[in-house]
Amino acid sequence: MQRIGVFVCHCGTNIAATVDVARVVEAAAKEPGVVHAEDYQYMCSEAGQLKIREAIKEKNLTGIVVCSCSPRMHENTFRQAAERAGINPYMVEIANIREHCSWIHKDIEEATEKAVILARAAIAKVTLNAPLQSGTSRVVKRALVIGGGIAGIQTALDIADAGYEVDIVEKTPSIGGRMSQLDKTFPTLDCSACILTPKMVEAAAHEKITIYTYSEVEKVSGFVGDFQVDIRKKARSVDMSKCTGCGVCQEKCPSKKTPNEFNRGLNTRSAIYTPFAQAIPNVPVIDRENCIKFKTGKCGVCSKVCQAGAIDYEQKDEIVTQNYGAIVVATGFDTIKLDKFDEYSYSTSPDVITSLELERIMNAAGPTKGHLERMSDHKPPKSMVFIQCVGSRCADKRGKSYCSKICCMYTAKHAMLIRDKYPGVEVTVFYIDVRTPGKNFDEFYRRAVEEYGVNYIKGQVGKVAEKGDKLLVQGVDLIDNKRILMETDMVVLATAIEPNPDVRKIATMLTASIDTNNFLTESHAKLRPVESPTAGIFLSGVCQGPKDIPETVAQAGAAAVKVVGLLAKDHLVTNPCVAKSDELLCNGCSSCEKVCPYGAISYEEREVNDHGIRETRRVANVNSALCQGCGACTVACPSGAMDLQGFSNRQILAEVDAICK
Amino acid sequence: MQERLVERAKELLTDGTVVRVLGWKQGDLGYNPEPAYFNSPEELADFVYDGFCGANLSKYMIQAGKMEGNTLVFLKPCDTYSFNQLIKEHRVNREKTYIIGVGCKGTLDIDKIKNAGIKGIESISQDGDMLKIQTIYGEKEFPFDDALLERCTVCKGKTHQVYDELIGAQEGEEAGPKGNRFEMVEKLEAMTPKERFAFWQNELSKCIRCNACRNACPACSCLKCVFDSNKFDSAQKANVDTFEEQMFHVIRAFHVAGRCTDCGECSRVCPQGIPLHLLNRKFIKDINEFYGPYQAGEDTDSRAPLTDYTFEDVEPSVVTERGGKH
């Protein structure tokens, strides 16, 4: 018979203000098997833990229930407390009466009733708990970084500097990411390339870093400490070991009509190309969809002009399989598509552009060589209108509910740079709010207004229409409470940013959770901001939420430290809550084997003794070192042979029964 | 046809290809043949194959596979889906099985004939599109198509999915009569939850827990059923309230989801006439809509939609949006 102790936490007023803890103690004390019940203000504090330890010893408790916050918060704390008092740490159950109860209810009566029910369920479960023992698993001393932008580069450099091997997988032909497309960076206005390219070079030259560009993660298996990853190296059609990066092939390539992705489609590129001059590696790729040789079989100009003989039309995709102890996601962002925002005439007028397109126009290496001009007639504009929050802070489903965070600052930057270089251009900014929390950010914005005479109007734009070679902007000024109708030469849209669309696929492969906006979810918003809830998966940069370059770099470093902390361990303690199959109930149907994401289940022919009937049966076998205790097999098993230790079918049914009682 | 089957079975028994034959033998009445083993050419005298041989023999092959020697089994086209599914689940031994795929024109529902007021039936034979029924009141006629089991009015095809040889059937034969298999499921989906609950309460309350559905179902082939095991509390839980059978049938439907080939045996054998196949068909319809058309038993090695994950898989939110009307 179990001797159970119940400990109800007030969590200050977090629980006690909504739940009558005394009544929870009273009700719990009446449950069968409960020999001790008490409450305390902070169960997780040293004094609270002492109460648990003393009760275990004095009352000879065999299992305990702590009614407190989420097990994700303090399950480990209480398990350790139980272990110190001499009972198995897996004889602890948590009833979450904070997140699941007090925080979401207002009525004390209802919340107390629910807390009692949750406590009863945990008591019913702990009654069926059995002591479990942890094992250990290895740590592969190598990290994978998915995404080669500034976030990925910084994370990789920091991990590599700590002495561990790092691989960067980048989808495009070069590392550099969004930052490589930017012209100047706020709030210091230093040139983006000047600060980024040295880091790119450093990463490429680092002996501990291997860079896979034009490559994608194809398959991930395994778990924290030992992930196995298949990386698809797409066929570049250029031999990296032979290419000297002279660029003749790109000059001579007769197919030059492909929209240039790096310049956001503002001009075109050749079919064989490097995205930009400082690309790393400086080895072009052949875009097979647009290459005449691949389309018609005729051409081969690049091969003829290549002195190094590096062109290889026969090259095939290659799969590299590698094991990693930790994986960092640094997949970054893109701007949203504007097809749902027809009111701004983006799709019809070439003079309505996004801010990222303006970055390319302003850039000396961009499509206009850095001259500010309209894309329709290549004339310099006399006036420009910037529209903030296009698709950000959007109330309807066309856009995003969140603030993209970087737009206020880069718009101030654009406005300032234009007024500085072209003082004759009138610049107007329509905004909802100007948000400048950051070191030297507000000063920067005020300079745009006060020193550079940028005209900021609080109000939104309802429509941009083409009128001759001009654009007609209709908006409102909320401060003067009047409608505004103004003509301008160019309109720049501060387009909302969203996570890279590939992130869904990657998150699925990694079993890392994502939110409704496709941003990867952190394990704890405040206390574990660079860790995914999935062990061994870390987050770097905008894939986790909108942020600017300084924040991205800081987070990249933080993610690197977490990775290094993991890789420095000799081994990891495994979770003993693993699946176990009852050979007498197993049909041998393979359902569990098919759903197991960790490849932990295999089948074998085994002689069984089924109540005197000896026969050889095909039965499931769980490798407990590989099993992560996800429980997928237990629900796939039609006969109920597969069960999860610590979360057995009987325990879960006992909880349900206790709740329904 | 029956003669051809017996003749071939005798040959295979005699030449030692198989040591037993699994088929159907004449029952007590003129319309209830039952599954049977035949261990010698002589025993085949009782062999019968007619429109009332609805019983799907594939499940018996789980047991037969464990016996000494090879077994000849006669499978109708839709029975072969069940057999394939059992191969996929490693429940039958293909090597020890010799399959004769038999042609099928549809199997019959005696209740449809009886409900038409034909009583005192002694024997039934087929004559073209009509059934000739000998009764103690004289000979009666009944249209063949009107006597078909519901499952045969929505026949999923006359093609055998697995066999060693065919008798009375051709490869790639076209499907028979084809109605909308999901007509009744759609009606149920259109109901309010209250109406739907009332429908199932009415139907399932007829259940006498004879276990015929479970025993006939080829997907219900666990060594030990959760309802018979003391490891779970399912059996007791299924008996706690007045609507006791909901647990049994709902759990059964969940356990066979994605594996059910829609052979219709559950409804055919139900002595209370409960349309049990509708529970399974709801799952099949949902699977088809969420993951693309899928027919369990069509192959022996694919990953079934419910035990597989692809990046194209439907999102949970979409399931909620499309999961029937509320």
pLDDT in tens, A382-425: 999 999 999 999 988 899 999 999 999 999 999 999 999 999 99
Reported as type and span, the H/E element at residue A256 is: none
Residues B249 and B186 in one domain: yes
Q: What percent of chain A has pLDDT over 90?
A: 91
Written as six digits, the tokens of B85 are: 């599914």
Q: How far is A505 from chain B (nearest CA, A)?
A: 7
Residues B119 and B97 in one domain: no
Residue B247 is predicted with a pLDDT of 81
Written as six digits, the tokens of A28 are: 């719990």
Domain of residue B198, residue span: 180-326
The predicted model gives A537-562 an average pLDDT of 97
Residues B157 and B200 in one domain: no
Whole-number Å distance between alpha carbons of A119 and A101: 11
Q: Please indicate whether, in this complex, the C-beta atoms of B91 and A584 are within 8 angstroms of each other.
A: no
Residue A405 is predicted with a pLDDT of 96
Q: CA-based angle A406:A409:A413, to the nearest 5?
A: 130
Whether A652 and chain B come into contact, CB under 8 Å, resolves to no
- From chain B, pick out residues whose CB is under 8 angstroms from the CB of A584: 223-224
The domain total for chain B is: 3
Average pLDDT score over chain A: 95
Q: Please indicate whether, in this complex, the C-beta atoms of A594 and B90 are within 8 angstroms of each other.
A: no
Q: Please indicate whether, in this complex, the C-beta atoms of A589 and B89 are within 8 angstroms of each other.
A: yes
Residue B324 predicted with pLDDT over 50: no
Q: How far is B79 from chain A (nearest CA, A)?
A: 19
Q: For residue B307, what is the DSSP state? A: G
Whether A594 and chain B come into contact, CB under 8 Å, resolves to yes
Among B62, B307, B309, B313, the residue to mutate for chain A (most A Cβ within 10 A): B307
Residues B241 and B289 in one domain: yes
Residues B119 and B266 in one domain: no
Residue A196 predicted with pLDDT over 50: yes
Among chain B residues, the shortest Cα distance to A509 is held by B311
Reduced to 3 states (helix: H, G, I; strand: E, B; else coil), residue A242 is: coil
Sign of CA dihedral A578, A584, A585, A588: positive
Q: How far is A628 from chain B (nearest CA, A)?
A: 18
Average pLDDT score over chain B: 88
Among B66, B86, B224, the residue to mutate for chain A (most A Cβ within 10 A): B224
ipTM of the complex: 0.86
The predicted model gives A348-368 an average pLDDT of 96
Residue spans of the domains in chain A: they are 4-127, 142-234+319-332+500-567, 248-305, 334-498, 579-645
Task: Count CA atoms within 13 Å of residue B42 on its CB side.
Answer: 0
Residue whose C-alpha is closest to residue B27's, from B59, B50, B1, B8: B50
The predicted model gives A543-570 an average pLDDT of 97
**What CATH number should be reported for the domain whose range is A142-234+319-332+500-567?**
3.50.50.60
Q: Please indicate whether, in this complex, the C-beta atoms of B311 and A508 are within 8 angstroms of each other.
A: yes
- From chain B, pick out residues whose CB is under 8 angstroms from the CB of A505: 311
Residues B27 and B61 in one domain: yes
- From chain A, pick out residues whose CB is under 8 angstroms from the CB of B237: 653
C-beta of residue B247 within 8 angstroms of C-beta of residue B206: no
- pLDDT tens per residue across span A453-501: 999 999 999 999 999 999 999 999 999 999 999 999 999 999 999 999 9
Whole-number Å distance between alpha carbons of B261 and A277: 60
Q: Which fold, A334-498?
A: FAD/NAD(P)-binding domain (3.50.50)
Reduced to 3 states (helix: H, G, I; strand: E, B; else coil), residue A561 is: helix
- Which top CATH class is A4-127? alpha beta
The predicted model gives B240-265 an average pLDDT of 84
Whether B313 and chain A come into contact, CB under 8 Å, resolves to no
Whether B222 and chain A come into contact, CB under 8 Å, resolves to yes
Say if residue A187 is preceded by a cis peptide, omega within 30 of 0. Answer: yes
Q: How far is B16 from chain A (nearest CA, A)?
A: 26
Residue B313 predicted with pLDDT over 80: no
Beta bridge partners of A621: A602
Q: Please indicate whether, in this complex, the C-beta atoms of A640 and B308 are within 8 angstroms of each other.
A: no
The predicted model gives A340-363 an average pLDDT of 96
Q: Please indicate whether, in this complex, the C-beta atoms of B256 and A638 are within 8 angstroms of each other.
A: yes
CB proximity under 8 Å: B 230-249 to A: 231-233, 237
Whether B87 and chain A come into contact, CB under 8 Å, resolves to no
Predicted confidence band of residue A627 (pLDDT cuts 50, 70, 90): confident
Q: Please indicate whether, in this complex, the C-beta atoms of A590 and B303 are within 8 angstroms of each other.
A: no
- pLDDT tens per residue across span A216-241: 999 998 889 999 999 999 999 999 99
User: Which among B224, B304, B308 has CB closest to A639?
Assistant: B224
Residue whose C-alpha is closest to residue A598's, from A534, A653, A549: A534
Residues B93 and B207 in one domain: no
β-pairing, A258-259 vs A268-269, is antiparallel
Q: How far is A288 from chain B (nearest CA, A)?
A: 25
Residue A33 predicted with pLDDT over 70: yes
Q: Between the CA of residue B13 and those of B9, B44, B173, B231, what are the distances in Å?
A: 6, 10, 28, 43
User: Which among A585, A586, A589 has CB closest to B229?
Assistant: A585
- From chain B, pick out residues whose CB is under 8 angstroms from the CB of A504: 311
Residue whose C-alpha is closest to residue A29's, from A49, A11, A54, A55: A55
Q: Which of A538-547, A607-616, B257-266 has the lowest mean pLDDT?
A: A607-616
Whether A638 and chain B come into contact, CB under 8 Å, resolves to yes
- From chain B, pick out residues whose CB is under 8 angstroms from the CB of A518: none
Q: What percent of chain B has pLDDT over 90?
A: 63
Q: Please indicate whether, in this complex, the C-beta atoms of A640 and B229 are within 8 angstroms of each other.
A: yes
Residue A136 predicted with pLDDT over 70: yes
User: Which among B89, B231, B303 has CB closest to A640?
Assistant: B231
Beta bridge partners of A493: A354, A387
C-beta of residue B249 within 8 angstroms of C-beta of residue B225: no
CB proximity under 8 Å: A 477-506 to B: 504-505
Residue A18 predicted with pLDDT over 50: yes
Cα A630 to chain centroid, rounded:
21
A647 residue type, one letter: F
Among chain A residues, the shortest Cα distance to B221 is held by A587
Q: Which of A263-277, A455-469, B130-144, B240-254 has the lowest mean pLDDT?
A: B240-254
Residues B142 and B208 in one domain: no
Name the CATH architecture for the domain at A579-645.
Answer: 2-Layer Sandwich (3.30)
Whether A350 and chain B come into contact, CB under 8 Å, resolves to no
Whether B229 and chain A come into contact, CB under 8 Å, resolves to yes
Q: What are phi and psi of A308, to 5 degrees?
A: -85, -10
Residues B11 and B73 in one domain: yes
Whether A128 and chain B come into contact, CB under 8 Å, resolves to no
Q: How far is A635 from chain B (nearest CA, A)?
A: 9
Residue B242 predicted with pLDDT over 60: no
Predicted confidence band of residue B246 (pLDDT cuts 50, 70, 90): confident
Reduced to 3 states (helix: H, G, I; strand: E, B; else coil), residue A18 is: coil
Could you list the beta-strand ranges (E) of B128-232.
130-135, 138-143, 165-167
What is the total residue count of chain A? 661
Whole-number Å distance between alpha carbons of A138 and A325: 9
Predicted confidence band of residue B325 (pLDDT cuts 50, 70, 90): very low
User: Which among A584, A590, A640 has CB closest to B232?
Assistant: A640
Q: For residue A592, what is the DSSP state? A: H
Whether A591 and chain B come into contact, CB under 8 Å, resolves to yes
Predicted confidence band of residue B235 (pLDDT cuts 50, 70, 90): low
Q: Please indicate whether, in this complex, the C-beta atoms of A636 and B303 are within 8 angstroms of each other.
A: no
As to burial, measured by CB atoms within 10 angstroms (0-12 exposed, 13-18 middle, 19+ buried), residue B62 is middle
Q: Which of A36-50, A89-103, A319-333, B292-306 has the lowest mean pLDDT?
A: B292-306
Whole-number Å distance between alpha carbons of A560 and A145: 10
Inter-chain CB pairs, A–B, below 8 Å: 59
Residues B261 and B131 in one domain: no
Q: Please indicate whether, in this complex, the C-beta atoms of B229 and A638 are within 8 angstroms of each other.
A: no
Among chain B residues, the shortest Cα distance to A596 is held by B307
Whether B307 and chain A come into contact, CB under 8 Å, resolves to yes
Please determine whether the domains at A334-498 and A579-645 fall in the same fold group of CATH: no
- pLDDT tens per residue across span B56-85: 999 999 999 999 999 999 999 999 999 999
Residue B326 predicted with pLDDT over 50: no
Q: How far is B174 from chain A (nearest CA, A)?
A: 32
Whether B259 and chain A come into contact, CB under 8 Å, resolves to yes
Residues B195 and B276 in one domain: yes
Q: Please indicate whether, in this complex, the C-beta atoms of B90 and A591 are within 8 angstroms of each other.
A: no
- Exposure string for B231-270, b = 16+ CB within 10 A, e = fewer: bbebeebbeeeeeebbbbbebbbebbbbbbbbbbbbbbbb
Residues B198 and B245 in one domain: yes
CA dihedral B164, B168, B172, B178 (to 10 degrees): -130
Look-up: residue for tokens 């022919």? A605
Q: How far is B84 from chain A (nearest CA, A)?
A: 13
Whether B303 and chain A come into contact, CB under 8 Å, resolves to yes
The predicted model gives B215-239 an average pLDDT of 82
Whole-number Å distance between alpha carbons of A358 and A366: 10
Q: How far is A650 from chain B (nearest CA, A)?
A: 7
Among B229, B240, B301, the residue to mutate for chain A (most A Cβ within 10 A): B229
Whole-number Å distance between alpha carbons of A551 and A540: 10
